Amino acid sequence: MTSTIAIKKSPTYRNFWFERLVAVLALLNLCLVFFDLTYIHWRDLYLQVLPSITQAYDPIKGIQPHPETQNYLNKVAELEEQVLQAGLQSPQVENSLGELRLLSQQMIEDNPFDVANKSGALAKIKNEIRLRTNQQSAREAFNMFWSPAYLSQIGWQS
């Protein structure tokens, strides 16, 4: 006589996996809530560590780049492209450097970082430029930094 034994899964076994799934989902939700609560205060850190996440999450939080700083960054990228194509001593590069000198002075005056309560970021930038150029004034430091002579002396890529 052959008997087959059927093993039935108990209802508690099925509940065990469902409860695990719910626990994992609850943990993920808690992590998202923590991320959302800390996003504004720790955005600079997230920007350094997870730049792709900040690009995706900024629009969700309503964060938009300031037009003045975005224009400045675009001009720097344009300058890099011009230097690669025409060299540091070309008239195009000289015009771009002049524009960057003007935009730097305007940035110092307007302080677009103040809108986001990030005036410390501008202070750090000014200090870094003063240290690099060995100048006392941020205005003079930016004027020196965005000159062909200085960029060729230190190597424009650095």
What is the DSSP-derived secondary structure letter of residue 8?
Answer: P
What residue segments make up the domains of the chain, in order of their start?
Answer: 11-61, 67-154
pLDDT, averaged across the chain: 88
User: Token pair of 38, please?
Assistant: 């800390």
pLDDT at residue 129, rounded to an integer: 93
Residue burial 113-131, b: 16+ Cβ < 10 Å; e: rest: beeeebeebbeebbeebbe
Is pLDDT at 5 greater than 70 in this prediction?
no
Is pLDDT at 153 greater than 90 in this prediction?
no
**More reliable by pLDDT, 128 or 5:** 128
User: Token pair of 121, please?
Assistant: 């970021």
pLDDT at residue 3, rounded to an integer: 58
Is pLDDT at 27 greater than 60 in this prediction?
yes
Determine if residue 4 is left, alpha or beta; phi over 0 gives left, psi from -120 to 50 gives alpha, anything else beta. Answer: beta
Look-up: residue for tokens 């005036």? Answer: 119
pLDDT at residue 28, rounded to an integer: 97
CA 151 to chain centroid, in Å, comes to: 24
Is pLDDT at 68 greater than 60 in this prediction?
yes
Measure the CA dihedral 50/56/60/63, to 10°: 70
Is pLDDT at 53 greater than 80 in this prediction?
yes
**More reliable by pLDDT, 141 or 157:** 141
Mean of pLDDT values over 56-65: 92
Considering only CA atoms, which of 30, 47, 29, 19 is closest in space to residue 116?
47
**More reliable by pLDDT, 1 or 115:** 115
